[in-house]
Amino acid sequence: MKRSLSILFWVIPFLSIAQTSYRSGYLITNSQDTLRGFISFKEESENPTAVYYRPELNAKTQVFPLKDCKAYVVENFYSYRRETVSISRSNDDINKLSTLLGLDSSSKKEEVFLRILQSGENVSLFMYTDDIKSRFYIQSKEDPTPVELIRNVFYKERGVVSTENKFQVQLYLLMQKYKKNLTPKDINLEWVGYNANDLIKVVSKMNNQSVVESRVKDIRFFIGGGLSTSSFAYKGSHPLANAIAESKKSYKPMITIGVDYIPKPLIGKMVYRVDATLFLSKNEITQKLADLKHSFDELTVAITPQVIYNIYNSNSIKFYAGAGVAANFSSYSNNLMSALNEEGNPKKNDVDFSAFSFSPKITAGFVINKKIEFSGGYYLKGRITDYQAFKVDVSRLSIGVNYLIK
């Protein structure tokens, strides 16, 4: 099993060479031509400055810079539109604020791609992100271009940070214009935060639309099972630490449950995972020359936070590798030491095992159709004793199948 896992770790990086991140979509050129095909699909931390297009999935990539593309759409995911807008230059990160007192009202005018968050009969909502911050823009049907929704964070006086939510006033004026029979909640927009979810709720009211829940979730759960093999070994000054001592590997079923957090769910390359796995083992360590045998049963629940990266990432299949550290909660029974051929009642072993230990873990596997996951894991040696003269280490290999639930 260990050999198979090692092969998997070697193979996965080569699979990434063939990876494609293109999805069905189209772009609109300056001459109003609509080019249908496949668009490079990414979750950029900043708004794009060019569009990567293929007429066919396996065709050569064509690059359309910002100046040559009026808009583009990745179907079922997102769309962008080119606009010339005023962009505020002030920072809203407290750790990066200018030490100067008062508002920073500096801005620049620039042609950029704005991401369309909602387009409706009365207003449209956009988002723009650069290396300074994320901004939101709104455009009513009477406005020639989108207008930035303003939120300012600044030092009002030395050591005192103030926030000006001008965007709430901007929204209120538009709400009065397009929304009849305003409710108290509509009038008081203090609940609206400077984030996409809250702003979409307000804009939906202006457009007389219902808020569409995102189909892409950033949390998923899973449950599964498989087979594990555990190996215990003595090290140091102990008769069972001899090089010729034999540790009988234990093969037992395992059960796993867990949760994944996917910070960028549209692509899902990076996954933060926490799982809990139940391990069972029946172990035996022998040393023939010393005529000694140590046998014991183990039950362990391993809780393992991990970081997983999808090296090959398509809709139908994903290959991943990851690493983490397991916190092991263990109990031991039938902990006996005896002669190899001893008849009768072996004596209780005086070596006590720790009920809590840590062990690093590396993992690799693949996911089919976003539902079924096949995985292999290797838990590196973790110490389960607290003696100076010798120690007992445990390592594990596991293979399993998980069902992913969103």
Query: Is residue 119 classed exposed, middle or buried when 0-12, 13-18 and 19+ CB atoms within 10 A define those classes?
Result: middle
Distances, alpha carbon 167 to alpha carbons 61, 149, 171, 192, in Å = 40, 5, 6, 9
41 pLDDT tier (thresholds 50, 70, 90):
confident
Domains identified in the chain and CATH numbers = 77-206 (no CATH), 219-405 (2.40.160.20)
- The Cα 227–Cα 5 span in angstroms is 14
Residue 270 pairs with which residues in a beta bridge?
A: 309
pLDDT at 15 over 70: no
Q: Give the per-residue pLDDT at 181.
A: 72
Q: How do residues 111-162 score in pLDDT, each as one tens digit? A: 999 999 999 899 999 999 998 999 999 999 999 999 999 999 888 887 788 8
Instruction: Identify which has the larger pLDDT, 261 or 105.
Output: 261
Q: Give the per-residue pLDDT at 20.
A: 47
State the pTM of this model. Answer: 0.68
**Could you tell me which residues come within 8 angstroms of residue 111 by beta carbon, excluding any fewer than 6 positions away?**
66, 67, 82, 83, 84
Q: Give the per-residue pLDDT at 18.
A: 39
Rg (CA), the chain: 30
Query: Is residue 398 classed exposed, middle or buried when 0-12, 13-18 and 19+ CB atoms within 10 A define those classes?
Result: buried
Mean pLDDT for 91-116 is: 85
Instruction: Identify which has the larger pLDDT, 308 or 315.
Output: 308
Give the distance, in angstroms, between the CA of residue 205 and the centroid of all CA atoms in the same chain: 32
19 pLDDT tier (thresholds 50, 70, 90):
very low
Query: Is residue 1 classed exposed, middle or buried when 0-12, 13-18 and 19+ CB atoms within 10 A define those classes?
Result: middle
Instruction: Identify which has the larger pLDDT, 164 or 257.
Output: 257
Residue 72 pairs with which residues in a beta bridge?
A: 27, 80
Q: Give the per-residue pLDDT at 183.
A: 73
Tokens standing for residue 186: 């509509």
Mean pLDDT for 105-115 is: 94
Question: ∠ CA 165-166-167 to the nearest 5 degrees?
Answer: 90
Distances, alpha carbon 284 to alpha carbons 232, 245, 396, 402, in Å = 8, 11, 15, 30
Give the number of other CB atoms < 10 A from CB of residue 53. 22
Q: Give the per-residue pLDDT at 216.
A: 63
Instruction: Identify which has the larger pLDDT, 68 or 13.
Output: 68
pLDDT at 351 over 90: no
Out of 268-272, 278-282, 369-373, pick the least confident. 268-272
Mean pLDDT for 57-68 is: 93
Tokens standing for residue 235: 């090290």
pLDDT at 377 over 90: yes
pLDDT at 81 over 50: yes
Q: How do residues 218-240 score in pLDDT, each as one tens digit? A: 899 999 999 999 999 999 988 89
SS3 per residue for the chain: CHHHHHHHHHHHHHHHHHCCCEEEEEEEECCCCEEEEEEECCCCCCCCCEEEEECCCCCCCEEEEHHHEEEEEECCCEEEEEEEEEEECCCCCHHHCCCCECCCCCEEEEEEEEEEEEECCCEEEEEEECCCCEEEEEEECCCCCCEEECCEEEEEECCEEEEECHHHHHHHHHHHHHCCCCCHHHHCCCCCCCCHHHHHHHHHHHCCCCCCCCCCCCEEEEEEEEEEEEEEEEEECCHHHCCCCEEECEEEEEEEEEEEECCCCCCCCEEEEEEEEEEEEEEEEEECCCCEEEEEEEEEEEEEEEEEEEEEECCCEEEEEEEEEEEEEEEEEEEEEECCCCCCCCEECCCCCCCEEEEEEEEEEEEECCCEEEEEEEEEEEECCCCCCEEEEEEEEEEEEEEEEC
Question: ∠ CA 153-154-155 to the nearest 5 degrees?
Answer: 145
Q: Are strands 22-29 and 34-40 parallel, antiparallel or unpaired?
A: antiparallel
179 pLDDT tier (thresholds 50, 70, 90):
confident
Q: Give the dihedral sign, CA 221/224/227/230.
A: positive
Q: Give the per-residue pLDDT at 266.
A: 73
Q: Give the per-residue pLDDT at 46.
A: 78
User: Taking all residues of the chain, what is their mean pLDDT, rounded to a whole number?
Assistant: 87
pLDDT at 348 over 80: no
